[in-house]
Structure 1
């Protein structure tokens, strides 16, 4: 269950997603980070994650990584390239194979209903996840676009 209000920066969120994608349990990740003993998790990603630096960054900017791991989070900001990474890490979806990118729009992305909910929870601050249909496997097909692109300019809220 996502705890409202927990926002993470892209680097800290991707540290978590990298570890999860590498098969590291949330409990082991939390324990390793709290103890600052990265031996059991150093294989995450390409094995080149600088956990100490990311923890220092999280402390400096106020990212509550422990509660984010426990209860869920949303990105405080995520770029289109960050969104591509997230789709790969969290959902094992690859561009040109599982979806297409057209500028700042992701098209033809098929997800389960649960995955659509997860994606919305992670990126809803700035991205709209719009259902466009279903595929042969009864998964929901979505289009992801920046929210400001899907509303008239006179409704933009800046600042």
Structure 2
């Protein structure tokens, strides 16, 4: 995995806090969900709002900002919790190999580009397969395994 991390601004963190709070109480905005993962060093539960991509009956989460703390924690833990606070369900996760990411990233960009533009390594919904393949190693994608 190539290391890239597009750190959110103060304004982006504030907006994410609002979306996370809404998702915690069960209000999904454009497919948002709360993902909870144990910290690799502290062991404390950490939460982040993510967009849940469902494709062919499989659920995926994408870290468009790159190798974020939640992506590193999820990779180390191998399991996360997903959903609102009182209905959170534990699921195992597996990282998607780079070769399988372009199809998923294309779908992700088609649906959420308006939200993540500027944070996906320069990609747009009109990016070619070659462009997506070139950036794919810098964007962690995980499948939620039931």
Sort the TM-score into its range (normalised by shorter chain): under 0.3
Q: Which has the higher helix share?
A: 1
Q: State TM-score, norm by structure 2.
A: 0.28
Q: State TM-score, norm by structure 1.
A: 0.26
Q: Which has the higher strand share?
A: 2
> Could you say which structure has the greater relative contact order, defined with CA pairs below 8 angstroms and 6 or more residues apart?
2
